[in-house]
Structures are given as structure tokens and as C-alpha cells.
Structure 1
Amino acid sequence: MTSSGKHVLITFGRSFLSLNLARLLAAGGHRVTTVDSIPVAITRVSNAVTGFHKVPPPKFAPQEYCRELARIVRAESVDMVIPIHEETDILSMMQGLFPAECQLFLSDFELENRLHNKFEFQAMLDERGVPTLKYAQFASRAEIAGLDFDGPFAVKQVYSRGSQKVHKVYPGDPMDWLEFDDDNPWLAQQWLHGDRYCTYSVVRDGKIFAHATYPVGYAIGGSSCLSFTNVHHQGIFDWVTDFLADTSFTGQVGFDFIDHPDDGLYTIECNPRATSGIMMFRPHNRVDQAFFGTNDELITPDDDVERMIKIGMALYGWRADARQGRTMKQYFHDMRTFDDVIGVPGDRKPGVLLPAAYAGILRSCVKYRVGLAEGFMHDHEWDGHTI
């Protein structure tokens, strides 16, 4: 570690995003500690990580979680906490627990929440005169009759994840299968076909210091990306730049876009936290500088980057809805030629630990009665419930 290196704590240590970020920070000369609510987290054995702590689950014990992170920060002189998943919202509520000399790489709760809430995010766009797809919020069965859509529309809860419980609905469908939560109403949003893109940005006070745009390739259920290639889309970058500057956001953030050949560019939703785009950066890109705001020029991934989550590809990528028109021959070719984001030269132990890590996650799936994709992150989600 160089003399200018910082001590950074990364949350959600089981995540491939956390693993890749830890490697990028360590390559920049920083000391990395990770935490998670499960004991077998793949970052725990990475050569990039010098310390690991098991902590309470943020979803089910949010105050205890934040207090324990604050204790670790004080005991180990942590300079920065970088949250990865929806524990970002929980930490933003309790920033006062942390010492002033440690930066939490996030924004205030009001902004984090408006960006996270899918209805509030669309309202933010309306307030700024940004074109949106038609949308409406409803919180009861009686309000379904008031939905006014001419064609198909998506139905999802305002606090939800991209690969979970997104339903395509047509006007007149009864939707009698919906369940209602007072803290988490539903959003109806116009369904539009077109080229789909995702972004990832590292931002300080509204200024972008690192950015990646990638098309939706292989994806769980057609929405949660498993493969990553870098593209340049000036329209998307300009949109993200203008929007973030107007909000003075600090943190990691991603947006989902649809680019329609006739109707233009629309933003479907915002994820004010880490997204899979972090896995597109390589150590020499020095994305660690973006978190501290020390780079003068925008950091972007290499043009030739081709990476994938190969365990996810093995579990989901072969399915027709994940391949999205690609043949099985193409699938096997890409599995051979794309780089894996988990097992990399010089840091193979996280890949070796995967079976044990997934065994622990499967136990969580049984405990919470959810599927594997949901169980992976279930105890780090926040669905708008009062803490």
C-alpha cells in the first residue's frame, strides 16, 4: 500500500460487485475491509481484502447494522465507507452515527430515496421537464380501474429490483394476483421496445468522475445483466451528466435506458448504488481515483472489455429469455471467450469458494422462502419500510 492509500470499507461482501471494487481499490494502493451478514462471503478470501467482519443483516436489524459499521470505522480508522446494495438507503438515514473524518460515499436520504423509488424518480424527471414514458402509481385494487394505458405496460413495485417481479400487463387484465403493501405501492409504466442500455457512474457533488455504458446482453429474465461490453453513447452520457449535475448527487449510480428508433431516449429507472458496470473496469483504469475525486479526466472502461458472470451464465444465461435471440452455439462461444469477473489470475480463491458461498445463500433462500436470485440479496434490500 502506498503512503497515500486510504482504508476503505465495502459493504455486501458476498457480491461480485464488491469483489471487483475491492480489487480495483487494492490495485490503487488502498487497504480494503469488507463486511456482510453471512460468514462465507467471496470477498473474505480475496487477496485484495485485508479484513472481513460479519455484521447484522441491514434489512432485519438496520440500527444494529449501522452501529456495528460505525464501531468498525472507529476501531480501524476507516477513511471511507462504500455501500454496494440497498443498505445505501439505510446508511443514509443514520449518517450521524459515523465520525466526521470518515466519508460515507452516498447522498442524503431524501435524494437517495427519491432516486430509489421508481415512481418518485419519474416524478423528478417530470419536474425537470425530462420526457418520460407514461406512468402511474396505484396502492389498492380499487385504483386498478383508473389506469389509463392504450397498450401494454409494466407493473412493478416502486421499491423493487430489475430482475424481480416485473410483469407485462395489457389493458383490461384483471391483475387479481397483485398483493398490496402500504409502504410499497405499485408502478404502472408504458412498455416500450427498443435498444436497451445500462449505465454506471461514480459521482461527487454532481460531477461524474468515472462512467460506463453497456448494452443489455445476456440477462436474467431479460433484465439483470450477466455480460458486459463497453459502448459509447453520447446521448446517454449527456443525459446522465445533465441530470446528475442538477441533483448534486454523490455516490455510485446507474440508469436503465431504452433508445427507440422513432420515439427517442427514455430512462426507465434509477439505481442509486453500485451496479454491474463496476465490473467493466480494469486495474490500470485507476477507477479508485474517481471515489476520491482526484482524476482530472473522465475514467471509462477499455473499448475491448468483454466480461461476464460465468456462474450466472451457467445458471441462467443458457435460457431463451436470457440469450435474447442468441443461439446456443453463440452462448458456448461467448462462455469460452469472455473473461470471468470472479476467477481472475492472481486471485483465484473467491472462485474456489463459490460452492460454499452459494450453499450459504441457498440456506437463506429456504429461510426467507425466496428464489436464488432474490435470496442472494434479500437481507440487504430496503422496501420503504419505516426504521
Structure 2
Amino acid sequence: MGLSSDKTSRSDKSVLITGARAPVALHAARLFHQDGWRVIMADTPRHPVSAASTCCGSYYQLPSPRYALADYADAMDTVLVAEECSLVVPTCEEIFYLARIWQERDFTAELFAPDLPLLEEVHNKDRFIKLCKHLDLPTPETRLLQSRADLNTTLDQCASLVYKPAWSRFADRVLIQPKAGQLSTIIPSPQEPWVAQHYLEGEEICAYGVARNGHLLALGLYHSSWRAGKGAGIYFDSIRDQASLEFVQQFVAKTAWTGQISFDLMRLRDGSILPLECNPRTVSGLHLFRRNNPLFTRDTGTLLEPDIPKPQMIKLAMWIYALPAAIKSGKTADFFRSLNKAEDVMSWPYDPLSKSRQLKSFVEILTLAARKGITPQQASTRDIEWNGNWCD
């Protein structure tokens, strides 16, 4: 376990933020820091972008929770004792491993997350839809595929379906309204199930919420008009939508949710909302909050909403992913209009981060991707992702 130098004085309040590789983790660190917290950060890369922030008091490099869970748990114990953290805020899929550790060990720090069984249920794209049905919430038609025979029953309807692994992120391997011949690459099994979901026409809305004991405390709704490939959004435009708000409020209340939660929703032409999938962790909606910290807000009876009017973007990712896509699709003018309208989420008034440090973090991911023969997006989560099973 590696430790960076301590850069800030002790505070009565210390928070540990995990997943330091993610821009949302950096944003969380800045929000807690401006609220007077001492921020400790942890993750597995050597050079996560958050570690260079002036808001990061100390950075701990940890073993991979996916491949060395016992070592990760021991290292987590060491960090919590050494830094006297009272709160742990996960930002990426390490949340599943942390929930298991908290289930098995007697830590005094609060893990800001639901218990493991609920996390597992909502992360699975089939079980999430079944949960929504059980809660009397509207859902799209969704079928579980656990064999080639299951897949074959969908062939005559494949042009109206979306196929995706039950455990996945960044729209990895998703097939939208494919031809039957394209389905030959899918091999569903009980260990690696897929879902076939009815394709919905409408307006996709991303939702990011924070709740405690079933009370929704903060909510950011937004569109992602530019993405890294099919999945991860890199451009975030805040919106309001009453039906989306009501869906999130009902889900949070009916599950007694505590922690962060996000949804991909579809707003149909009649204004109603259907859920597509759920991510029980931090997503880019956090970037829509700058003056107020939704991760440590109290239940005042008033919902905390985004407080910045301009669209937000991950500027480096816009150049790397969005510009080539815009050139290919003939939307170069749209790209530059979007670029000129938005603020870079990496920029913060009192916390400058050099472009070289951002590139250093990205190069670490590219190096791993080249070494393992996988895509940069796959490399960015390989050591922390959770696909319904444990490697220990």
C-alpha cells in the first residue's frame, strides 16, 4: 500500500473518498474540502488525477478489490485507523467490495451506501426491472437470457429490442435493434446472463440522486449529448422533469435507500417515464453541484438541486472521444458550439490541475489497455468492476 505526502492540516472531520481515478471523485473531494472536511483519497492506480488536487490531504494506493479482496480489506482497515475517518464515500464499482467488507468487519466509519444485497439487486439489469415491478413502478418489457435457447426465442423480434449484459457498464457490448446475424456473438449463461429490453422511442434522461433512510435529499437530472463511445457521458446539460423526479422519489422511498443512486430513464412522448437501468454509485450528475455538497446535505425538507446554469464537460475527453465522432458524423460545428458553451469539470477556482497531470493519468490507463489487449474504457474499471461474482 502506497501513501502520498500529507498536504493539509488535521480537521475534526475526515472523509475517505474511494475511486480517486474518476473525475467525480475529484469533484466530491472539492465539495467536502470547501465544507471544511479533511479529504483522504484511495484507489489502485499510481497516478489518479485526484491525488494531485490541493483538496486531497493524502492519497493511498490500494490493492485491487476485485483480485485481492482480503488485502484490500486489510489496507482499508489501516487507512481508516491511521486517518480517523468517520465517513467513507465510494464513487465507482469498488462500492460492492466495500459493502461486503463492511458486512464482514466491524468498522466504526459510516459507509455511505446501502447494504450489499440491495446493491447487488439494482446493479443487475434484470433484477432491477423485477424490483421496480415489485414496487409497482412502471417498467419496459425486459427478458432474462441465460442460454442460447433463451436468445433464440427473441430472434423474430430482435429489430425492436436492445440486448445488453446483465452486468455491464459504459454500454459495453450493447446491441441496439440488431439484425439476427449480429446475435451470434452473444452467448448467455446463468453465470453471464443478458437481457433483451424493448427498444423505447423517446428522450433519455440521466438522474443522479442522494438519499438517506428513504428520503431524497438531492437530485440532478441531465442530458448527455456527447459520450465516450456508446456509453459514458462526457457533456452534461442540467434539466428539470417532474415525472423523473417522482420516479426517483418513489424508488428511494420504497427501498429505504441510503447513499448515492443514479438511473438511465426514458421520457416517452406522453411525458411518462420508464427506467432502463440503475447505477448505485456516483455518476456525472454530481458535477452539476458546485456551491452545495449533496453528499453531506441534511434533510431540511427542501430538495437540493443543481446550482450551476452552464453545461459541464470533461474537456480532455471531449477532444479525445467527441471530436472524432463529430467529424465522422458531420457534426463538427455542433461540437465546437457545445465546447464553447460549457465549463470544464476539471477546472476549479482554487484548485488548478495541470493538463500534464490529467494526461499522466490517462496514459496510465492507455498503458494498461495496451498491455492487457483491452479498450481504454475496459482498462479504466478492470480492477474494481463487479460482475455478480467474487474472485476470492
Query: TM-score if structure 2 supplies the norm length?
Result: 0.91
Matched, 1:165 2:173: yes
In the alignment, the residues of structure 2 paired with residue 326 and residue 241 of structure 1 have an alpha-carbon distance, to the nearest angstrom, of: 40
Q: Which residue of 2 aligns with 1:210?
A: 218
Cα displacement (A) at 1:171: 6.8
Q: Which residue of 1 aligns with 2:76?
A: 69
Deviations 1:312-366 (Å, cap 9, x if unpaired)? 111111244x799883122112223311011333222254301211121112212
SS in 1 for 2:21: coil
Q: Which residue of 2 aligns with 1:382?
A: 386
Contact 1:74 1:99 in 2 (8 A): no
Counterparts of residues 132-281 of structure 1 (less than 5 Å): 132-147=139-154, 149=157, 151-170=159-178, 172-173=180-181, 175-180=183-188, 182-262=190-270, 264-281=272-289
Match of 1:316 among 321, 324, 333: 321
Matched, 1:94 2:101: yes
Q: How many residue pairs are counted as aligned between the two chains?
A: 383
SS in 1 for 2:263: strand
Q: Which residue of 2 aligns with 1:372?
A: 376
In the alignment, the residues of structure 1 paired with residue 215 and residue 355 of structure 2 have an alpha-carbon distance, to the nearest angstrom, of: 35
> Taking structure 1 as reference, are residues 105 and 212 closer, same or farther at Cα in structure 2, changes over 3 Å only?
same
Q: What is the RMSD of the two structures over their aligned residues, measured on CA atoms?
A: 2.4
Matched, 1:59 2:49: no
Deviations 1:24-72 (Å, cap 9, x if unpaired)? 1101111111111111111111011100000001221122212211221
Give ranges in structure 1 of 5+ residues lacking alignment. none
Match of 1:11 among 18, 29, 47: 18
In the alignment, the residues of structure 2 paired with residue 123 and residue 83 of structure 1 have an alpha-carbon distance, to the nearest angstrom, of: 26
SS in 1 for 2:157: coil
SS in 2 for 1:176: helix
Cα displacement (A) at 1:195: 0.6
In the alignment, the residues of structure 2 paired with residue 245 and residue 124 of structure 1 have an alpha-carbon distance, to the nearest angstrom, of: 13
Query: TM-score if structure 1 supplies the norm length?
Result: 0.92
SS in 1 for 2:184: coil
SS in 1 for 2:285: helix
SS in 2 for 1:67: helix
Q: Which residue of 2 aligns with 1:117?
A: 124
Give ranges in structure 2 of 5+ residues lacking alignment. 1-7
Cα displacement (A) at 1:202: 1.0
Question: Which amino acid in 2 is paired with 1:259?
Answer: R
Cα displacement (A) at 1:182: 4.2
Cα displacement (A) at 1:243: 1.0
Percent identity for Structure 1 against Structure 2: 27
Matched, 1:305 2:310: yes
In the alignment, the residues of structure 1 paired with residue 328 and residue 270 of structure 2 have an alpha-carbon distance, to the nearest angstrom, of: 22
> Taking structure 1 as reference, are residues 134 and 151 closer, same or farther at Cα in structure 2, changes over 3 Å only?
farther
